[in-house]
A and B are shown apart, each in its own frame.
Chain A
């Protein structure tokens, strides 16, 4: 049975529905990531779990006990929910030292034994900040502040730890470091967690389970591997980075792009006048002439729009009859000519029809994914 259960959660501001009849379960010790663009309701969902927002309808259970139930008029305030929370802006109290910040949840919950047993020092050591205990937050770097905030969130060993975009204010390198630390802490301590982010690489790296949200609802719920291999909708595919989108129209027995290129859809799809297909950038190859196009691949004539050096690869954008494709080109193979190539230079791109993720016309239903039966 799930440790934490949200059912029928609805929250709106005026006529603007932020969370729309949402159901979600979090198992004991599970790391759940809420992923979505800003305004999709992920932070509001988290704040409803914390008790910082009051939903209109729905029920939230912690370990079988309701902490919120609109029909039974139950609303346990935030400070009685036994949670820990890490904020985007760190929210370390500037008037207290690091030690006092970390000790605060233990003190206000009257956990004298834990305090006496050195839990504060232990929590600081977990995030490698034991030497900072007597400093004030203003004397710390952003990365140190967020580590302390994590230590504070974990210090009281809460049942559930809530992370509200904790890495967004950090620069790229620190973000990776703190991410790895959070991952290792979860592995060793096994707390239940809900982590809100708009960054798919964070979501893939941290989550046991991902919930991709759109307009207050969950668009897909699954393991990172599931989501990566079989995005449930066109929206999810686009959000996790499958940047190439093809709108296909049926022409007799086959399919054609808007630009009029014939595309063979390898697998059976239901009888429909139109489809949407998605492709990962690294499933698309770049060619200077037709000789290197593998047999059986779909080839499209295109022109070069931009090529940006990215180390081992070039990030290439090409245009084909009004449609744009993004792809990765190996620097060793293509670097020599891409470096001097000018905009508008004619090229060829190719992809295997099996690599297409095919969705119904509106994008809501997955019809075929590579590796799936069919």
Chain B
């Protein structure tokens, strides 16, 4: 009935100040980790009369770069929005017998994006691509020597990027769809709407907030897209802002200031989107769902839904994975696929390659360390944002800062960390520490948002019931709040482990010759042209992730991934 302001405003002054000081320290820490590297980049770009800006934005091809970045982001956004929404609706209408297909739309997240990208290259590169070779058997294409598809063209980079973003849009939209009571849909059907009619007249309008939010995130991800353009776009000289940043730091003459300047449009846009979302979402109490009639999916009997989901699974997961598997088992990559030559030699060779085993350890250790830090820090941040509305400024800062890494591309944090931690006071470049730190930053939004959502949907009543039973705030946290958050924490751990063992963009910036993670090693092999090793490495990455997910499922039950 009434809003809560559980903390005394008068009387408990000393206690209030202690709370305030603790949370201020938390925000300072977050600010140091997240804001400072971005700030360093900007001040560098403005050094010497903004020499960085002149170097980057004075180039003759800058217009082309900006145009490519925008077109790539917007086009892949459109693909992702349409596919993500259709998939979310389809999974809600799955026949009970094939209910397990629900997991399909999130599975592409489990597959490393580098693996998906190289998988498509193996299938659709104009010469030796397997699918291209197959299509050239068709009568109307049998005159071609290459093609018909060129995976290195911008059209196909857009399509592959769009497929990758689809899972993210799906997560937001399906979460939004859970909040639409099944009675709304049944009411529309009872009023005479067909299933398609229900989708356009009821579901879509009710989904608008989720679509706006998910679309915002997908747009930012699209603008910061790095893997596809870097791996596939090289052949045709495709340039986007993120690849420009990478080239400025990796190719001579190295120009950090120009790289920093290239980041600016993305940083500004990321800030704008995050602030706009804060304004648009407003009061979070509206999203409390406990206590009401919960959403009960009514198993539909729509076999078209099963077909749509399965088709997506085929293109987003099965085909690229098949491409990778075949190449990893072949002595060399050519269009003439011969089943007789299949061999495990590549795996043997991979494990004999210096640094491979070490890169697996580094990936796992740094990921776990970052996750271990992110869970408590995320819980503290989430508690501050959800439960301490009276700490207005500190709360707002925590909310915005913890969301920043979602809005600003990982490459930018990579460059920022490279810049910040190659100079005093903390010279960490070349160690695992800088990787752990940048991983923490990248995962803070996930750790915070997921626990925030759980806290919001829990409401205050469980904590209040504990307080009036005589439990101190600490006892309440330990005996009530944390045990109730356990499923969420496990899901967050699983998601963060998945994302981090795949991490590529930021890792590429902060790695050194001696400290590699799996993704960066794979990129080096790709650049050297040792494709069968690339494929084996991609399979190894997927296996490590799958092992992590399996462990999470053993501890947390099979529905760990359902909470994503």
- Residues in A lying within 8 Å of B, measured CB to CB: 13, 18, 38-39, 43-44, 47, 50-54, 56, 68-70, 73-75, 77-85, 87, 89, 91-95, 104-105, 108-109, 152, 156, 162
Contact = CB atoms under 8 A, between A and B. Distances in A.
A92 B484 CA distance: 12
B483 A52 contact: no
Given A38-B1, A47-B2, A53-B4, A83 B468 contact: yes
Given A89-B461, A93-B465, A156-B469, 7 more contacts: A51-B468, A69-B11, A75-B12, A93-B462, A94-B484, A105-B469, A108-B475
Contacts of A43: 1-2
B471 interface: yes
Interface string B471-514: 11101000110011010000000000000000000000000000
Contact of A77 (B8, B290, B459, B480): B8
Given A43-B2, A91-B461, A93-B484, A104 B11 contact: no
Given A73-B13, A75-B12, A52 B465 contact: no
B464 interface: yes
Contacts of A156: 469-470
Among B290, B467, B471, chain A packs the most CB atoms within 10 A around the CB of B467
B138 interface: no
Contact of A93 (B4, B11, B459, B480): B480
Among B6, B13, B465, chain A packs the most CB atoms within 10 A around the CB of B465
Contact of A78 (B5, B464, B475): B464
B291 interface: yes
B94 to A, nearest CB: 25
B2 A104 contact: no
Interface in B1-47: 1-13
Given A108-B471, A109-B470, A54 B291 contact: no
B466 interface: yes
Nearest to A43: B1
9 nearest A-B pairs in the assembled complex, by CB-CB distance: A75-B11, A105-B469, A91-B465, A85-B468, A108-B471, A78-B467, A109-B470, A91-B461, A75-B8
A53 B3 CA distance: 9
Given A43-B1, A44-B2, A52-B4, A70 B470 contact: no
Contact of B469 (A38, A44, A89, A108): A108
A84 to B, nearest CB: 7
A89 B291 contact: yes
A104 B469 contact: yes
Contact of B465 (A69, A77, A85): A85
Contacts of A52: 4, 6, 464, 467-468
Nearest to B7: A54
Given A54-B5, A94-B484, A77 B10 contact: no
29 contacts: A13-B3, A43-B2, A47-B2, A51-B468, A52-B4, A53-B2, A53-B5, A53-B6, A54-B5, A54-B10, A56-B10, A73-B10, A78-B467, A79-B470, A79-B471, A83-B468, A84-B469, A85-B464, A87-B461, A89-B290, A89-B461, A94-B484, A95-B483, A104-B466, A104-B471, A105-B469, A108-B471, A156-B469, A156-B470
Nearest to B390: A54
Among A44, A47, A56, chain B packs the most CB atoms within 10 A around the CB of A47
Contacts of A74: 11
A91 B459 CA distance: 10
A52 B7 CA distance: 8
A87 B467 CA distance: 13
A70 B11 CA distance: 7
B259 to A, nearest CB: 47
Contacts of A83: 468
A89 B467 CA distance: 16
B484 A95 contact: yes
A84 B484 contact: no
A77 B12 CA distance: 9
Given A38-B1, A87-B465, A93-B484, A79 B10 contact: no
Among A56, A69, A77, A83, chain B packs the most CB atoms within 10 A around the CB of A77
Contacts of B465: 85, 87, 91-93, 152
Contacts of A79: 466-473
A18 B472 contact: no
Contacts of A89: 290-291, 459, 461
A84 B468 contact: yes
Contacts of B5: 53-54
Interface in B419-471: 459, 461-462, 464-471
Contacts of B475: 108
A73 B469 contact: no
Among A39, A69, A92, A95, chain B packs the most CB atoms within 10 A around the CB of A95
A78 B10 CA distance: 14
Contacts of B11: 54, 68-70, 73-75
B180 to A, nearest CB: 22
Contacts of B484: 93-95
Contacts of A50: 464, 468
Given A79-B472, A109-B470, A91 B8 contact: no
Nearest to A87: B461
B115 to A, nearest CB: 38
Contacts of A44: 1-2
A70 B12 CA distance: 11
A77 B467 contact: yes
B369 to A, nearest CB: 29
Given A89-B291, A89-B461, A54 B8 contact: yes
Contacts of A91: 461-462, 464-465
A52 B12 CA distance: 13
Nearest to A84: B468
Nearest to A75: B11
Given A87-B461, A93-B480, A78 B8 contact: no
B121 to A, nearest CB: 48
Contacts of B468: 50-52, 78-79, 81, 83-85, 162
A152 B484 CA distance: 19
A201 to B, nearest CB: 20
A182 to B, nearest CB: 17
Nearest to A109: B470
Interface string B338-350: 0000000000000
Interface string B511-541: 0000000000000000000000000000000
Contact of A108 (B12, B470, B483): B470
Nearest to B461: A91
A152 B3 contact: no
A69 B10 CA distance: 9
Contacts of A85: 464-465, 468-469
A108 B474 CA distance: 11
A52 B4 CA distance: 7
A12 B8 CA distance: 14
Interface in B280-312: 290-291
Interface string B360-398: 000000000000000000000000000000000000000
A94 to B, nearest CB: 7
Interface string B180-194: 000000000000000
A94 B483 CA distance: 10
A280 to B, nearest CB: 30
A288 to B, nearest CB: 43
